[in-house]
Structure 1
């Protein structure tokens, strides 16, 4: 009971909302005699407010935890799907390889394209190897030769084959590939003045079959190339390079992106491993040197919209070419006969299935990469919420200790 004539009254206090906490503007110094709230009552009121804030923040943390749990579960499902698809692709690849041993139709088509360039080094060497194999095998210039660029890879999509050959140009497509520089040196001989001996080495070989090698030609020594030294996609029978998908400045992935040219080339299993003495295959030496991070898009529109994230060039299936940032190739595609292009692996249902599986794999890996980024963002939000919760909890504990002190004073005998 309060003394006669006195009643406890609560002064209405303004409320200021800051973030998730509610700041009460009360004067705990006012006593019941002044019509205000006692210190003990104020402390109790404040502790109730803090407890309510903690409940709200706890629910927010639970929402972040639930989202993280969902994202991690989704990521695990994607990992399982990728693993299953890798096994499926490995079986398709084995089937396709065994079938290709029985037919070399596509390889013969490419060889005919090369032979049409009668006055090229590749055309001369290919002619001699095809028509005079026993004699060619005795030549020093055939020791250590791996092949012609155009014959060392295959491409599933005809439009992609066309645009990649346009990007490289005929000279690069006809480049001779050797394991090391020691194997390259027998290709040419020089006189005392440093001039090319037109009657020696490959030039003499050309003369012997009634041909003349015109102009320059490219020769590639795999041992002397700077190889890709990063990670490879785990479980991929083609040992594709693990390259991050390009992103726009806003953090979004580029629409219409189909992959990197270096990964869209299919390589014969014989060349996947240990082509060089250092253990590198054609993908991380030859094709990485030729294409680097060349991006492939579905259309020119997609390619142009991705300009901010194109550094090493890009191509599109409808013929668009950006050689490197700021350098564009315009005009009409050259469809002249005899143009050297990459072949398709084989005209079989197995190959079509493998191509479809590749598209599915690219999509799964894109989804996994996006999910991993979502997980990182959710973890940051969760950690921030936990930090705020901890600070609020400390405030709550202090408030409880303050509310218990006045109560002890009131209970203590005077």
Structure 2
């Protein structure tokens, strides 16, 4: 059958259009995927807010906080930062390095300088420089003692400090997440930062106080890897560390707003212009004190997209569940090995008993036979 040339041309043209359309669709999809990957990559590796250093150089907000900690060179936090900055150190092979989460000042970010300044003043230098461990095993690894209860200066953080020429002076604060009573309430729905669902304060007339900005515990931005499944029981930093540090501490814009809200303040309050109420009836007055170790500031570029955070949290949860299963298997294997050892020991004792009993029975039988023979 003969096909018209015009029809063949139309078919070829339509086929060409279809192929071109398919190529365009694939190209658009690849471009979209590439854009998404690039967007995630940017959030994972992009620089955060830059801060000009005293010498005119630029540091990220996180680097500035580390510089502030390093100025306290003989503190536990300063020594820990120095050890992390030295690649040749053996610290990464020690139990304390595996269990240490970080230093309080490095474990959260805030929105601006005013929040950073008042939060650091409220917590104080000792707490800002506190070392945070997941478990009590990590706490014990930081400092060890001899038989007389004296500090062993050649082990733990003391020994590592001495190895880099930095002696650890005085006391230092260590916070154990495992030992903390976590927040027992719910979280805000669909919030990638897993902020705590705490009811806003209400005045006697039912209205929220003027100038109320939020709860301090929810104004800390926590890195994704520390949001979920950080402790053996599956809790993150917000509901353990920061909830224990701030509880339901309220934050107001001004002192005037804070004082007017006194009827509904139960766990203390702060104002961005320097007001501090530590608890009911306890006011912190006088000139404000600047703590030279502060939380770094978050920037728009450093915030991760919601789907990225959700994926990270799912991965974190799966790893936590895997670790829990591995721990359970190790524990069960230990119990099995113990039971097997006890079984083998009892079996050997039983076989020895049977052997000795058999020998004794044979001797008795021989003796009985001899006695019978002699009695005849």
Superposed pair shares fold, TM > 0.5: yes
Q: Aligned pair in 2 of structure 1 residues 152, 350: CA closer, same or farther (>3 Å)?
A: closer
CA distance in 2, matches of 1:349, 1:138: 34
Aligned to 1:146, the other structure's residue is in SS state strand
What is the aligned partner in structure 1 of residue 29 from structure 2?
A: none
Aligned to 1:323, the other structure's residue is in SS state strand
Aligned to 1:137, the other structure's residue is in SS state helix
Tell me if structure 1 keeps the 8 A contact 2:43–2:301: no
- For structure 1, the 5+ residue unaligned runs are 1-93, 355-414
Range moving further from structure 2, 270-279 or 94-103: 94-103
Instruction: Verify: 1:309 aligned to 2:264, yes or no.
Output: yes
Measure how far apart 1:198 and its partner are.
2.8
- The 5 Å alignment of 1:110-121 reads 110-121=65-76
- For structure 2, the 5+ residue unaligned runs are 1-37, 49-59, 307-376
Higher relative contact order (CA 8 A, sep 6+): 1
Tell me if structure 2 keeps the 8 A contact 1:260–1:295: yes
Match of 2:293 among 340, 344, 368: 340
Tell me if structure 2 keeps the 8 A contact 1:232–1:240: yes
Aligned to 2:231, the other structure's residue is in SS state coil
Instruction: Verify: 1:138 aligned to 2:108, yes or no.
Output: no
Measure how far apart 1:102 and its partner are.
2.4
CA distance in 1, matches of 2:266, 2:231: 28
Q: Aligned pair in 2 of structure 1 residues 95, 335: CA closer, same or farther (>3 Å)?
A: farther
User: Which structure has the larger Rg?
Assistant: 1
Tell me if structure 1 keeps the 8 A contact 2:46–2:301: no
What is the aligned partner in structure 1 of residue 161 from structure 2?
A: 206
Instruction: Verify: 1:268 aligned to 2:212, yes or no.
Output: no
What is the aligned partner in structure 1 of residue 193 from structure 2?
A: 238
Aligned to 1:143, the other structure's residue is in SS state helix
Q: Number of aligned residue pairs: give it.
A: 257
Aligned to 1:118, the other structure's residue is in SS state coil
What is the aligned partner in structure 1 of residue 239 from structure 2?
A: 284
CA distance in 2, matches of 1:213, 1:319: 33
1:250-288 CA-partner distances (Å, limit 9, x unpaired): 322211100000000001111111111221111001100
TM-score (norm 1): 0.59
CA distance in 2, matches of 1:251, 1:229: 25
CA distance in 1, matches of 2:193, 2:80: 29
Tell me if structure 2 keeps the 8 A contact 1:148–1:177: yes
CA distance in 2, matches of 1:226, 1:308: 27
Measure how far apart 1:96 and its partner are.
8.7
Instruction: Verify: 1:330 aligned to 2:285, yes or no.
Output: yes
| Alignment root-mean-square deviation, CA | 2.2
Tell me if structure 2 keeps the 8 A contact 1:110–1:340: yes
Measure how far apart 1:136 and its partner are.
1.8
1:13-68 CA-partner distances (Å, limit 9, x unpaired): xxxxxxxxxxxxxxxxxxxxxxxxxxxxxxxxxxxxxxxxxxxxxxxxxxxxxxxx
Tell me if structure 2 keeps the 8 A contact 1:145–1:178: yes
